Structure 1
Amino acid sequence: MIETALYRRSARAAALAASLSLSACAVGPNYIAPEDPPVARYTKEPLANPSAADKVATRQGGSADQSFVSGADIPGQWWTLFRSKALNRLVEEALANNPNLEAAQASLRIAQQNVLAQKGTLYPSLSANPQALGARAPGLDLQSPLQNQNNYLYSLYTPQVTVAFNPDVFGLNRRTIEGLEATAENQRFQLEAAYLSLTANVVAAAIQEASLRAQIDATKRVIQAQTEVLTLYNKQLSLGQIAGADVIQQQAALSLSQQLLPPLEKQLAQQRNLLTALAGRLPSEEVAETFTLSALRLPTKVPVSLPSRLVQQRPDVKAAEALVQQASAGVGVAVANRLPQFSITAAGGSSAVRLAQITNPGAGFFTILGQATAPIFDAGTLYRRQRASEETLTQAQAQYRAVVIAAFQNVADALRALQSDAAAVAAASAAENATGQSLGLIRKQFSAGAVNSTQVLIAQQGYLSALVTSAGARATQYADTAALFQALGGGWWNRADVAPPPPETDPLKFL
């Protein structure tokens, strides 16, 4: 068939034109990845392990001491280092159901499809344009096209194929593709950042719930102890052993402790709502997992990757680097827009008044049109756009450096925090033990009449403060450990669980 042969010739011409286009130059700067910061450590002095001077271990799970393993890799599922099955289940549920993560995955697929769509501009487009015309020829004294004055009505059949191609002589399309590929790379690391943020938020929320439960438990223990003392005071008052003012003071202390409980319970309820939302559920479908400090284990061997690897591991740094490449490609696009643009259009087919005559060699035709356009005067519009794109590149480079500095700061802050947490946990644990023993001793002395009620009240308040401080210190150490894993990038490079793109189902994809 003539149309099939024409299609084959057009395809060969299209392939040749595409190869010529791909071999042409691309104006604008070629992207060069930024160099890694020339630093050998995160802090001013060499990395020192967290330590507690008195080596006091914490109660209810965990230890005050940790050690950093410099150069060790971060596991992809870093939260499993806390050795909590409930936490592992909740993180897995959040990764499967959180809508923000699903939206980030869709954004990546959108960017990838835009890249593939733009790559099609490097090749000729081939379209079929069959036409069927019904017409009436002029009659009377005018000669009809059919050389027959008695036949004024006729049909004209014109099947044809059109090939259009815009040679990418100066790299306009290729720079556009480069920019879209950088956008896709940015979306890829935005997805990694969303993944890391989600897992870190779940871990942080679980630790905060455990901290609140510890504070509630401590407050209830103090309330119970104060209630027992108040009962004892009432008995002594009835026997005339103490004054009524002592009972009133104890009742006031009990009331103050009871006031602390409702706000903590409110925070716990709201924390449960947060965990439920992170898991992709509605508040009425609260997650079953609950968390206490005793059910979590503090990672004692903490991997700390080398500073030279940080810029390759932080999703936000890689996303910012992709924006630099996107801005670099934008400069090339702006430069190419100031240069001539070329287009080639070819059409071929056949034309006949009867369908049976379409295959006749004499009915064939073709046309080829080459066109070039170049800006001559635009009042500086294209030049200013180029300058704007160059400044955009400068802006992206500066923002990249700012993100790198912030990344190193995050790691340094987490390291400093963990170095202080060990001593804080040990001191808080020692204070809790000491105040608890002191309160027990003073209560015995009060029962024997050796001390007055004021000393009992002071000891009770000291013990309550020590309990709450100890629970907060332990929770802070857990949270700062999770923050260090997040600051180091979360080990995304060691996982492969991003949802794959759906299979192509385009019904028009036949080539």
Structure 2
Amino acid sequence: MNRIPFALHRCAAALVCVALAACSTVPPYHQPEVAVPAHFAGSPQWSVAQPADSTPRGPWWTAYKDPQLDALETRVNVSNQTLKKAVSSLQEARAMVDYQRAGFLPTVSVGVAQSRYRTSQNLLGKSLAGQTISDYSAGVSASWEPDLFGRIHDATLDAQASAEASAADVEALRLSLSSQLAVDYFNLRSLDTQKQLLDDSVTAYDAALQLLKRQLASGAIDASAVAQAQAQLESTRTQATEAASQRAMLEHAIATLIGEPASTFSIPARKQTFLLPDIPHAVPSQLLERRPDIAAAERRVFAANAQIGEARAAFFPNLILSASAGLESSFFAPWLTAPSLFWSLGPQLAGTLFDGGRRKASLESAHARYDGYVADYRQTVLTSFQQVEDNLTALNALADEAHSQRVASDAAALSLKLVKNRFDAGAVSYLDVVTAQTIALTNERTAEQIDARRAVASVGLLVALGGDWRVSADQ
């Protein structure tokens, strides 16, 4: 009766020794270094700041002060199916963290069984040979593997970092989807304005055609002017139809982004002037390292570093402490009595002596995987700087283009007015009027397209910076 307490004391002493001796084989982690410029070439006032990838990114689209856009963006977070899948993957990654953490705790199982069996009569030296007996048993067993060399610890670090990377992936996807919606929306509004220009032109051209037909009937002009007006009218109608088709496709794309069937979704047409947010020069460097894709890439480097620790731990033996106790009897009546008690308690240390180089290959694979994720991280950072520079360059260039194009549009409108006056005075042919009208319409559409491109470039810059600059780092 004194053996059980004595065995428990020895086991407790062994656990203390194991806990004191436990260690991790994971290498010390250092975030990969990357070359960071002192400022952006597109705006030298912006300088390098400290990382803040945990800062909330906020509803950046509200900077455009468009209630319709705000309403659509909120539906992306609720109804987009691609985003829902990413959230499911995040939940799966977090569940894996709990799974790995469970390895620190013992496994306890309980069971009740009843069987009836017969031993062969031709077995020598067995007292039960040829007999049929019953076996009633009930017991509980427990086993625990102390994390002697940090294998479970390293696996937990791997799972935790992977979950954090998945969380960053969700934010990156959310940012990507919201930006794609904004781009589609601004292009749709641009087409609304262009369609209005084309429809107004069609109305004006049709009125001019009817006037020319009456003049032709009275013999005031020849048939060539009517033909030219007819060609211009139909060409403009074709452009209006094409603009309507492009708008419908963008409307369908927006419907898919917000999780609604394209056949039941519509956005009322509206002529709109784009109001671009004024992004302060001191902000982009502070937001660049808040990008969720950079955070995800860095967490995957950390996870790969933990996987090296897991591969190293495989070279060391595993210690398993196990215990079991229960009741067993060949007869049901005395099954639940004290004489039916059985128990066992003891440690097991087992390790692999030879595996043909499998563990070494796994370790080399883990190191190679780590190097690959380091390269991914550095490439992600380089790409982020490129995207900021590209959008800065685009915004600066488009601002100049918009100014020049507005001057050109005003000049074309003045030219059209003068040519019409000369045609009414009989000084020029109607072909000159058609040419002036085409140039004026083309310039108006080009000006509108440049405005839309500026809005798209500003969206691209905000996305490249990781979100809303109006959210302070201490929130």
TM range (shorter): 0.7 to 0.9
Give the whole-Å Cα distance in 1 for the aligned partners of 2:415 and 2:20.
83
Moved more, 190-199 or 343-352: 343-352
1:219 deviates by: 1.7
Matches within 5 A, 1:158-237: 158-237=137-216
Alpha-carbon displacement from aligned partner over 1:200-240 (angstroms, at most 9, x marks no partner): 11111110101111221122222223223323332332333
- Of 263, 275, 297, the match for 1:297: 275
Residue 250 (structure 1) aligns with:
229
Cα distance change, pair 421–255 in 1 and its aligned pair in 2 (3 A): same
- Of 102, 105, 110, the match for 1:128: 110
Equivalent pairs counted in the alignment come to 456
Give the whole-Å Cα distance in 2 for the aligned partners of 1:488 and 1:402.
16
Q: Does structure 1 residue 318 correspond to structure 2 residue 291? A: no
Alpha-carbon displacement from aligned partner over 1:14-53 (angstroms, at most 9, x marks no partner): 99849945961111313222346543322276149xxxxx
Cα distance change, pair 144–19 in 1 and its aligned pair in 2 (3 A): closer
Give RMSD over aligned pairs. Answer: 3.4
Residue 499 (structure 1) aligns with:
none
Give the whole-Å Cα distance in 2 for the aligned partners of 1:464 and 1:490.
37
1:74 deviates by: 8.4
- Of 49, 52, 69, the match for 1:87: 69
Alpha-carbon displacement from aligned partner over 1:95-121 (angstroms, at most 9, x marks no partner): 211111111111101100011011111
1:359 deviates by: 6.6
Residue 49 (structure 2) aligns with:
none
Cα distance change, pair 22–427 in 1 and its aligned pair in 2 (3 A): farther
1:241 alignment partner, SS class: coil
Contact 1:22 1:168 (8 Å CA) reproduced: no
- Of 22, 25, 35, the match for 2:23: 25
Specify every segment of 5 or more residues in structure 1 that has no aligned partner in the other structure, as ranges.
Answer: 49-70, 147-151, 496-511
Alpha-carbon displacement from aligned partner over 1:148-181 (angstroms, at most 9, x marks no partner): xxxx887554332211122222222222221111
Cα distance change, pair 354–167 in 1 and its aligned pair in 2 (3 A): same
1:367 alignment partner, SS class: strand
Alpha-carbon displacement from aligned partner over 1:257-295 (angstroms, at most 9, x marks no partner): 22212221111111111111111011222044655423x
Give the whole-Å Cα distance in 1 for the aligned partners of 2:17 and 2:424.
98
Moved more, 230-239 or 430-439: 230-239
Q: Does structure 1 residue 264 correspond to structure 2 residue 243? A: yes
Give the whole-Å Cα distance in 2 for the aligned partners of 1:178 and 1:15.
28
Give the whole-Å Cα distance in 2 for the aligned partners of 1:361 and 1:369.
22
Amino acid at match of 2:154: R
Residue 464 (structure 1) aligns with:
441
Residue 436 (structure 1) aligns with:
413
Contact 1:209 1:291 (8 Å CA) reproduced: no
Cα distance change, pair 379–74 in 1 and its aligned pair in 2 (3 A): closer
1:31 alignment partner, SS class: coil
Moved more, 343-352 or 16-25: 16-25
Cα distance change, pair 361–420 in 1 and its aligned pair in 2 (3 A): same
Specify every segment of 5 or more residues in structure 2 that has no aligned partner in the other structure, as ranges.
Answer: 47-51
Q: Does structure 1 residue 116 correspond to structure 2 residue 116? A: no
Give the whole-Å Cα distance in 2 for the aligned partners of 1:170 and 1:394.
24
1:360 deviates by: 5.3
Give the whole-Å Cα distance in 1 for the aligned partners of 2:200 and 2:467.
38
2:109 alignment partner, SS class: strand
Give the whole-Å Cα distance in 1 for the aligned partners of 2:76 and 2:296.
23
Moved more, 261-270 or 187-196: 261-270
Amino acid at match of 1:76: G
Contact 1:126 1:161 (8 Å CA) reproduced: yes
Residue 422 (structure 1) aligns with:
399
Amino acid at match of 2:307: G
1:355 deviates by: 6.7
- Of 98, 114, 119, the match for 2:80: 98
TM-score, length-scaled by structure 2: 0.86
Cα distance change, pair 289–487 in 1 and its aligned pair in 2 (3 A): farther
Give the whole-Å Cα distance in 1 for the aligned partners of 2:182 and 2:198.
24
Give the whole-Å Cα distance in 2 for the aligned partners of 1:233 and 1:170.
94
Residue 397 (structure 1) aligns with:
374
1:13 deviates by: 6.8
Q: Does structure 1 residue 40 correspond to structure 2 residue 19? A: no
Q: Does structure 1 residue 286 correspond to structure 2 residue 284? A: no
Contact 1:87 1:203 (8 Å CA) reproduced: yes
TM-score, length-scaled by structure 1: 0.80
Amino acid at match of 1:88: D
1:130 alignment partner, SS class: strand
Give the whole-Å Cα distance in 1 for the aligned partners of 2:457 and 2:15.
59
Amino acid at match of 1:297: L
Q: Does structure 1 residue 78 correspond to structure 2 residue 60? A: yes
Moved more, 228-237 or 210-219: 228-237
Contact 1:37 1:308 (8 Å CA) reproduced: no
Contact 1:14 1:123 (8 Å CA) reproduced: no
Cα distance change, pair 14–354 in 1 and its aligned pair in 2 (3 A): farther
Give the whole-Å Cα distance in 2 for the aligned partners of 1:20 and 1:289.
71
- Of 205, 220, 239, the match for 1:241: 220
Cα distance change, pair 159–491 in 1 and its aligned pair in 2 (3 A): farther
Give the whole-Å Cα distance in 1 for the aligned partners of 2:315 and 2:36.
39
2:44 alignment partner, SS class: coil
